[in-house]
Structure formats: C-alpha cells, structure tokens
A and B are shown apart, each in its own frame.
Chain A
Amino acid sequence: MLSSPQRKPFSPRAVLVITLAVGVLLFGALFTGILVLTAAIKPVMIAAFLRQVVGVDPATWPHTTLVTWVSMAITALILLTFGAVISGATVWWEMRVSARMQSRIGYNRAGAGGFLQWIADAVKLLFKEDLIPAEADQLLFRVAPYFVMTGFALTFVALPFGEGLVAADLNVGIFYMVAVTALVVVGILLAGWSSNSKWALFGGMRAAAQVVSYEIPAGIAIMVPVLMAGTLSMQGIIRAQGAWPWQWFVFTNPAATVAFLIFFISQLAEGNRTPFDLPEADSELVAGYLSEYSGFRFALFFLVEFGNLWVMAAVLTTLFLGGWQIPWVSAADWTAARGALGDLPGAGWWGLQLLSMLVMVLKTLVVLNVIVWIRWTLPRIRIDQMMNLCWKYLVPFAFAAFVFTLLWQVLLARVPLLATFTGFIMTGLFVAMAALFGRQVKANIAASGDHVDLTNW
C-alpha cells in the first residue's frame, strides 16, 4: 500500500521512522500499561493511591469498589491487547526468520522490514466476507472461536511479567494454567466437528488426540519444578529460583533438565507447532480444523495460535529458567524497596519492577525465538511417530524424572550444597555445548562456501 504506483511512495527514511514510531509507541504503551496496572490493581495499592493521591479515605469513600473494578477491567483489556499485538509481532518475526533461513526476502512491503504487515493483515481480514458453510452447524460453528479465545485470554490472569506484575497471583497458579488451556481442546474439537467438512473433522480429531496425549507428559513434567519449589503459585516458583543460570531449576537438578525438555516438546505439540503440526498439515489436510473458517473468525484462531507462543515461552521461563529474578537483587531488597505496605512504593521499587519485567520479557523472547527456529528446521512427523514419542518416550521419562526428583529432594534436605554444585556443573556443560554448537555452525557455513550476511536485514 505504501508503495502503490498511483501514489508517491514514502522515502525509505520516512517508512523507517513511521515503523519505528508505531513499534515503539505500541509496545511502549502496552508494557507501561502492564507495568503500572498489574502492580496497581492490588487492593493495598488502590487504597494507598486513593489516600495519598486522590486524598480520600478508601474505607469510607463510596467509589472505592468502582475504582477497583474499572482498573481491573482496563488491566484485562490491556493484557488481551498485549496478547493480540504480541501474536501479530510473532507472526512478523517468524516470517522474517523463516525468510532468512530459506534465503527468501519475506515480509518487506508494509513498513520497514515489513513490520506493519500484521496490522495490514488484521485490517484486511476485518473487511473479508465471513462465510459459514451451508451444511455447517450454525450455532456451534460460531461458538467454537469463543472457547479458543477465552481459553487463551484466561491464561493471562496468572502469567507473570515481573516481581509484582501479575494480574492475580493465584495460589493454584500453574494448575490453573493447565486447567484453562483444556478449554482450547474443546474449542478445536467443536470447530472441527461443526464445520461439517472432512478436512476440518479429521484435523480436529488429530489435534484433540495430540493435545490430550501430550498433556500427560507435560502435567507430570510440571510436577518437577512444583516439587522443587513446594508451591503451585507461578510467582512462588520463580521466587524459589535465583537470578543466575546455576540457580535456575533447569540446571540445579538433572531430572529438571529432562523435565524441561519433556515440557518443551509437549508445549510444542500442544501448540500444534512443527514438528507437531499434523492437525493442520497444510499439504495433507488443507488447514485442518480451520479449513472452513474465514474472515475474522479465522483471525481469532490464528491470533490464539501465535499468541500462545508467548504464553508457552513465559510458562517455560517461569517454571525452569528463573523467571524475572534480577542478579544481586534478593527478596530482602524487594521488601526494602517496597517501603511501608500502606504507602505507595517509591521510584526505586518501580525501577526494580521495570528491570524484572525486562529480564522476564528478554528470557521469554529468547525461548520464543527457539520455538520459531525449530519450526523452520524440523520436518513434520507422522501420527504414529507422534503417538510413540508421547506414550513410549515422554511419559515414561517424565515418570522417571518425577521419581528421581523425589529422591533428589530428600538428598537435598541433607546436603543443601548439592544444588549449587550441580548448578555450576550443568551450567558449565550447557555453555560448553552451546560453544560446540556455534563452532559446528561456523564450520558448516564455511564448508558450504556461504557467509553470514546481516546487512540487508
């Protein structure tokens, strides 16, 4: 659109400025909103805000409840907007990365580096005809996207963004996450069945069989960090870890490393990501359960699918990779920065919160990037391989990791130093493996006569 022949195209510099402005403003506003609002909707904070800023007594002021509800509703809206926007940005990133990996150009029309493409796509889909096949079940066809959408939206309630930055730190945290994602399966089955199309039905059945199968190893693998932290709360699990890699659960217990891998693979499968994209394998099933969906109904499914990548990566970061923990900042520092509980916290506390959010977001993006790499590296597996991998490898290994962790925790109670020791060794091993991997990649590139070119990004 920006370079249509009828209109004088913007200069590349202007396009870059516009893109940067949109990107920075959009994400700046969203992250600021999440930072301020998720921290502020706690009753203590609202009470302090009313007393110190508005100058009324929250206990007697008639509108206290109203303020609480409105701020909660705005928070919910911002979190969902964030989910939608991050989903779009992930699509853009995925398309750019895949283009680089396949020596293509990729998105480059709307905005600098094609960054505005996902906005253009969303607007386009809004203007598309919304078809419901004549033979489809009219009601259930319409209901299915809501199941998927609410299942996705609900995960954001317990998803941590920083130390005090979570909409609700439920004490059943991770259990809640597992429970609400179960909704998505019902939505997928419903979409597949109600479409009354062979592709859709088969895709729906495959998707449901795959998702429910991989929920078992995922559920057992989750037990390992839960056992190590002794709590189900997402924030509690992060607090039980440290900021340095050798204090992360993934490295302090060999079984947790196994559990991490099992959980990672299961998450890929539950998100229908390659190599587990057989439910919507476009070369055999058209688009699986989505085949008959068009227009914005399709967009909602698509949004959830890519938005889920963020949720996936954030949960992995929370359970195994130390979440938002900042180096050199201990729990005591947080309490000190918070000051008196009845007062509004000072700038130092907000700075720490911002820092913790930065750590969390960076880790999540790294994990997300790995998920994107995997999609463009591995081929799709067959359905029998998918079932074998789940029931014959992941489930037994998850059980083994769980039982090992039982014994490990008993051992740790006697020899607490063991965790630190293991942490250092495992971190060292990981760094060595990463170095070897990098060297091999470099050697492969040199051997093929290719070179790394980042100039035309």
Chain B
Amino acid sequence: MPLTPLQTYFPIGLVLLVGSGLALVLLLLANVLGPRRPNAAKMSPFECGSVPVGSARDRFGVKFYVVALLFIVFDIEAVFLFPWAVLSTELGWAGYVEMLIFVATLVVGLAYVWKKGVLDWAE
C-alpha cells in the first residue's frame, strides 16, 4: 500500500494546522492570563525612553533593493540546480556541459556586479 502522491502532503497540512493552532492557543491563553493596563507611554514605540521623533516609516537605502534583486536572480538559478543535481548521472556528459554553460553565464553576471561595486556596502 504505497502512498498516493496526495497523501504524502497530509502531514504537511496537519503540521500547518497544528502549528498555527498551537500558536493561537498559547496567545489566547496569554491574553486571558496577562494583565491589561495600557497607558500612553507603554503604547508608544520604544525610543530609549525619549519621546519618539518623526515617523518610523522612513525611506531606505537602494542597496537593500539591489540585494533583493540579486537574491531573486540567484535563487531562481539555484532552483534550476535542484532538478539537475538529481538527474546528473542520468544526463551524462551532455548534462555536465549544459550546467557548466548555465553556471558560467551566471558567474559572469556575478563578476559584473562585483566589478560595478554594487557589492561594496560601505561607499
């Protein structure tokens, strides 16, 4: 009686439910047990005890955005490596060459980013 493909996902669904359920129950319990005496000082954002200055929703450096873009590109690349790694023996020499070309192209991309100084955080 092997598992049908769908059945292998049941544990995942259950853990998802039980995990969020556990968090919910614990938070509800804390809600019931804990005191509730809010005041203005408590409810203000923490700024080392002084009155908060300005808004927290400030603009951020563009570097973070570049990091996220680089991440997407290389993440997609890593995603392609997974099926290839599983099949590497089956694909043989043709497979190796395919993957070398693929990786080489991306290494060129990395080298470009490096040379352009995007990776230098402290400018």
Contacts and interface: CB of A to CB of B under 8 A. Distances in A.
Interface of A: 41, 43-44, 47, 69, 72-73, 75-77, 79-80, 125-136, 145-146, 149-150, 152-154, 156-157, 167-168, 170, 175, 195-201, 205, 208-209, 212-213, 215-216, 219-220, 223, 226-227, 230-232, 286, 291-292, 295-297, 299-300, 382-384, 386-388, 391-392, 395-396, 399, 402-403, 406, 409-410, 413
Nearest to A296: B30
A395 B110 contact: yes
5 contacts: A73-B14, A130-B30, A157-B11, A201-B58, A296-B29
B25 to A, nearest CB: 11
Contact of B58 (A198, A382, A387): A198
Contacts of A133: 43-45
B37 A226 contact: no
A76 B30 CA distance: 22
Interface of A (DSSP majority class): helix
B57 A196 contact: yes
A226 B85 contact: yes
Given A133-B44, A145-B23, A213-B67, A47 B1 contact: yes
A215 B72 CA distance: 10
Contacts of A402: 81, 103
Given A154-B12, A167-B11, A205-B64, A384 B121 contact: yes
Contacts of A213: 67, 70-71
Contacts of A205: 60, 64
A140 B58 CA distance: 18
Contacts of B36: 129-130
Contacts of B119: 387-388, 391-392
A457 B107 CA distance: 51
Given A227-B88, A387-B119, A406-B100, A199 B12 contact: no
Contact of A291 (B3, B11, B46, B113): B46
Contact of A197 (B47, B60, B82): B47
B82 A226 contact: yes
Given A205-B60, A392-B119, A129 B100 contact: no
Nearest to B111: A396
Contacts of B56: 135, 195-198, 200-201
Interface in B1-57: 1, 3, 7-8, 10-12, 14-20, 22-24, 26-27, 29-31, 33-38, 40, 42-48, 52, 56-57
Q: On chain B, which size bracket covers the interface?
A: 35 or more
A196 to B, nearest CB: 5
A198 B30 contact: no
A150 B67 contact: no
B22 A80 contact: yes
A386 B27 CA distance: 35
Given A133-B45, A292-B45, A126 B33 contact: yes
Nearest to B92: A410
Contacts of A286: 46, 48
Contacts of B112: none
A406 B81 CA distance: 12
B62 interface: no
B46 A384 contact: no
Nearest to A122: B26
Given A133-B44, A135-B45, A213-B71, A126 B86 contact: no
A223 B85 contact: yes
